[in-house]
Every structure is written in structure tokens, then in C-alpha cells.
Homo-oligomer: A and B are copies of this chain.
Amino acid sequence: MGRRSRKADTDFKAAARSWFENNPDGRKPTMGDVARLAGVSKKTVSRVINDSPQVNDATRAGIKELIRDIGYRPDPQARGFAFRRSYLVGMIYDNPTPQYVVNVQLGILDGLKGTDFELVVHPCNRQSDTFIEDARKFVEMQKLYGVVLTPSVSEDERLAEALREIGCAYIRVASVALDMERRMIVTNDRVGGREAARHLASLGHSRIAVIAGRRSFRSAHERRSGFEDGLMEFGIRLPMDYVLQGDYTFESGLARGADLLDLDPPPTAAFAANDEMAAGVLQALHVAGLKAPEDLSIVGFDDFETATRIWPRLTTVHTPARKIGRLAAQSLLAFGDEDVPLGPNQTVPELIVRESTRELESS
């Protein structure tokens, strides 16, 4: 008969049974065990695990069955060690809003579900002198498979360049495209700003103030520009002194909210570039003994939990943070494969109307 292929010789069911019979202490099987039981080399098992095409179909099927039956799971640490990179995905961020951070984390984990990848978090301070160096060390030491960058670190070209230099895959989440398409999740904040303006304008408002976000954040520019675009559609012009400079913090919203009340003539509505600042404006109104929406209609941006905790509940533009995280993780996993077609990498903000805005009473 001569040589017969091993897959024909091997009874994979029996092999699985023998594993359990000869393993009283419940040791977890290794690739070597699978190979021995299947009567093949470790390399062949490795090929099956890594979906290499060059394996006989019958062999592949039998090995997969055996793997399932004895509950073999390749050790990600050993695999990573041999691959010279880990099965870890990093999230590098400096956004201080807990709701954003947690939701993007959840989204990334959604996108990683069913894989062997885990998520390592790396908050950082972009102002620090060692920011780039720290991030590089983080990535290199852990040999991260890739990283997700969220605003505003995602906007940092030095960081992106450093990551390219060390060959680390990355996905940048930002309000506009800043990089090759497969490296971006674009959130289109400009569209959200426009929706906010359309909403206020269609309620009859025309004296509308804007509290802008931190200048160094690209989203601040996008949200404001989009808002101005929307006003333009209604023929409304935004006077310079109706634009107040905030920095995305609640405190700046509180301060600019107070300033806003001194404007002459007073605005009947305001757009704050994020919910934190909108909450500050609302609090400034309370302090002044005024009320929204009666004395001022106000629109925020983000739709984090705060928006529904304050009173009146905030009309705002929803940022799908969790979805953003999921898309970023999916893009990252696909990044290595040239074959995988580019998945969706855009999200669109959506206006959520609540009680902080209302029709302007004709006076």
C-alpha cells in the first residue's frame, strides 16, 4: 500500500477521547498535543489556526474538529511572542469626558468580540513634553497589534508619524479626514453643527450666540463652521461678538454663559459646542434667575448622559461614541489585510430635540 496520507489514518474522534483519558490533571492542551494526537506536525496545526490556504481540506476539517473537541485554544502570549507582536489593541486618548471614553472603550470591545484581542487603555496628556515618547514606549514595549486614537490626540501628526515609524497600525477618530481612508473614522461634526443651526433657525431664532470649543481641537472648528453653514442657509449671519470662546469645559460654559447674558441685544438662542459647556450655560441662567428655554433656547453637542440629567433636558447633537469605537476596532483588525474591503468608516451626528429649545415667541 505504501504511504497513505495521515488524515486518512487518523480517527480524530478517538484522538480526542484519548486526550481526556490520558489527561487526569486537566492540563490544557498545547499545539504540540494537537499535533501529536492528529498525527501531523505542529506546523500543520499552526497553518490551520492561521487559516493558511495550503492545507488539505480533510486534514483541516479533522484538525478543527479535534481542536474543538479537546478545547484547544492557542496561547495568545506564545503566539504573540513568536509573531513579535501581541494580541493587544491600545486606546490612546486625552479626552477628559468619562462618557466619551467609556463608550468608545465599549465600542472597541464590541468590535474585538469573538477575537483573541484585548483592550489596553492609555490616557495621556498631549501637553506633556514626553507625550510622544510615552506613547511610543507604550506601543513598543507591549508590541501592540495596533492602536485607536481619539480626539484630540488623533489630530497630532507627530504621534501618527511616530506610530508609522515603528510600524504600528493605527486608526484615527476625528471630525474630518486627516489621513489615508483606511486609517480614519470620520465623525463629520460639521454636519452636526449644521443640524443644530437649522433647528434653531427653523424655530424662528435669528439672534443666536455660539460658544466655541477649544481652538486646538479640530472638532471645535468643524462644529462652529457647520453651525455657520446652517445659519447661512437661512440667511442668518453670526456677528463676531456673538461668538464666545470656550474650551469645552463646564467651567468655560458657566463663564461664557454669564457673558452671553450681557450681550446687547441679547441672543434668544445659543449653540454650545459640547454638552459640558451647554450645561454650564444652563447653570449660568439659573444663577441669573433666568430659565431655558423661556429666556434662551440652547443646543449642545455630544448627547452624553449629562444632557438628560440636567433640567431642562438638553436638545443636542448625538455623537455615536460606542459605534465609533466599534468601527475603529473593526478597521484596525482589517488594516493588516489588503484583501478585506474597507468597511464603513464614517458616522453622522444626529440632532436630538429635547426641552432646552423652543419656538421664538413673536414679540
Interfacial residues, chain A to chain B (CB-CB below 8 A): 73, 75-78, 80-81, 86, 88, 98-99, 101-103, 105-106, 109, 116, 118-123, 138, 141-143, 250, 276, 279, 282-283, 286, 305-306, 308-312
* Cβ-defined partner of A119 (8 Å) among B116, B121, B141: B121
Q: How far is the CB of A6 from chain B (nearest CB, A)?
A: 29
Q: How far is the CB of A12 from chain B (nearest CB, A)?
A: 24
The answer to whether A76 and B279 touch across the interface, beta carbons within 8 angstroms, is: no
Given contacts A282-B311, A310-B311, contact A78 B76 (CB under 8 A): no
The answer to whether B142 and A118 touch across the interface, beta carbons within 8 angstroms, is: yes
Q: How far is the CB of A134 from chain B (nearest CB, A)?
A: 11
What are 25 A-B pairs with beta-carbon distances under 8 A? A76-B141, A77-B77, A77-B86, A77-B142, A81-B81, A88-B88, A98-B102, A98-B305, A101-B102, A105-B123, A109-B121, A118-B122, A118-B138, A118-B142, A119-B120, A119-B121, A121-B121, A250-B305, A279-B309, A283-B311, A286-B312, A305-B306, A306-B306, A309-B309, A310-B310
Give CA–CA (A142, B142) in the complex, Å.
13
Q: How far is the CB of A137 from chain B (nearest CB, A)?
A: 8
Q: Which residues of B contact A86 (CB under 8 A)?
A: 77
Residue of B nearest to A312 (CB): B286
Give CA–CA (A283, B109) in the complex, Å.
33
The answer to whether B123 and A106 touch across the interface, beta carbons within 8 angstroms, is: yes
Residue of B nearest to A28 (CB): B140
Give CA–CA (A106, B121) in the complex, Å.
10
Q: Which residues of B contact A78 (CB under 8 A)?
A: 81
Q: Which residues of B contact A311 (CB under 8 A)?
A: 282-283, 286, 310-311
The answer to whether B118 and A308 touch across the interface, beta carbons within 8 angstroms, is: no
Q: Which residues of B contact A282 (CB under 8 A)?
A: 311
The answer to whether B98 and A116 touch across the interface, beta carbons within 8 angstroms, is: no
The answer to whether B306 and A309 touch across the interface, beta carbons within 8 angstroms, is: yes
The answer to whether B123 and A120 touch across the interface, beta carbons within 8 angstroms, is: no
Q: How far is the CB of A36 from chain B (nearest CB, A)?
A: 21
Most buried by B among A122, A141, A309, A311: A309
Q: Which residues of B contact A76 (CB under 8 A)?
A: 141-142
Residue of B nearest to A100 (CB): B98
Q: Which residues of B contact A109 (CB under 8 A)?
A: 121, 123
Q: How far is the CB of A260 from chain B (nearest CB, A)?
A: 17
Residue of B nearest to A306 (CB): B309
Residue of B nearest to A275 (CB): B309
